[in-house]
């Protein structure tokens, strides 16, 4: 049993390394290019757009590059949206919900995490068609929780995006400095 957990950790680390770290470090662009991709992905991960994070990352990239001539790493943006996934989605959405309720002054309407999960399962349980599921989800997001989650998601998106930008920028710059020191002086510096 003990080996299985280690195997899972190593495969998780491997996925993290090959999908996020290596593309960030090997990019030939300026460090800001990768840092902006990280920022966009993390910001979108903390929005209550269930199942649309990667699609929104692509849409933001198209709009940013076409209309505003602002470029960032689409690959990193897509990858960092995975922060909100099947395992972390409900805790993140609960965090957004509670934050939104607090910001809107709804102190009396704070359900506990267990109640939130039960309510979620109530909405998503049963033999529904895809259309019925979409209708139920739209009602939940637009009427019941959506406003609170959008309001609560805004500060978390800004904080996560800002921290992601700053950390990845520092990380990439430090990596490149270290790599330059290991390589030694370039030919142009030797002449």
**5-23 confidence digits (pLDDT tens):** 666 667 777 877 777 777 7
Question: How far is 18 from 5, CA to CA, in rounded Å?
Answer: 20
Residues in contact with 42: Cβ distance below 8 Å, sequence separation at least 6, in sequence order: 80, 83, 157, 160, 161, 163, 164
pLDDT band at 1 (very low <50, low <70, confident <90, very high): very low
| In the chain, where the domains are located | 11-184
pLDDT for res 8: 65
**17-42 confidence digits (pLDDT tens):** 777 777 777 778 899 999 999 999 99
Question: How far is 56 from 6, CA to CA, in rounded Å?
Answer: 34
**108-118 confidence digits (pLDDT tens):** 777 777 777 77
In this predicted structure, the answer to whether residue 96 has a pLDDT above a threshold of 90 is yes
pLDDT for res 70: 95
**117-141 confidence digits (pLDDT tens):** 777 776 667 777 777 777 777 777 7
| 8 Å CB contact between 63 and 101 | no
Dihedral Cα 130, 49, 82, 93, nearest 10 deg: -100
Residues in contact with 113: Cβ distance below 8 Å, sequence separation at least 6, in sequence order: 91, 94
For the segment 141-149, the average pLDDT, to the nearest whole number, is 79
Q: Beta-carbon neighbour count of residue 82 at 10 Å?
A: 16
Residue 46, φ and ψ in degrees, nearest 5: -100, 35
pLDDT for res 169: 95
End-to-end CA distance of the chain: 60
pLDDT for res 16: 73
Q: Choose among 106, 86, 85: nearest CA to 149.
A: 106
């Amino acid at each position: 049993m003990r080996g299985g957990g280690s195997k899972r950790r190593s495969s998780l680390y491997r996925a993290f390394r090959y999908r996020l770290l290596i593309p960030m470090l090997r990019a030939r662009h300026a460090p800001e290019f990768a840092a902006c991709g990280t920022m966009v992905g993390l910001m979108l991960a903390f929005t209550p757009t269930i199942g649309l994070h990667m699609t929104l990352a692509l849409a933001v990239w198209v709009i940013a590059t076409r209309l505003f001539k602002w470029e960032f790493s689409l690959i990193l943006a897509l990858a960092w949206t995975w922060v909100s996934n099947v395992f972390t989605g409900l805790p993140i959405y609960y965090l957004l919900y509670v934050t939104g309720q607090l910001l809107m002054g709804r102190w009396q309407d704070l359900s506990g995490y267990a109640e939130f999960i039960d309510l979620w399962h109530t909405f998503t349980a049963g033999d529904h068609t895809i259309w019925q599921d979409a209708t139920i989800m739209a009602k939940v997001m637009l009427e019941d929780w959506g406003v609170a989650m959008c309001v609560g998601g805004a500060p978390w998106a800004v904080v996560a995006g800002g921290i992601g930008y700053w950390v990845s920028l520092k990380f990439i710059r430090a990596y490149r400095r270290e790599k330059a020191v290991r390589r030694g002086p370039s030919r142009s510096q030797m002449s």
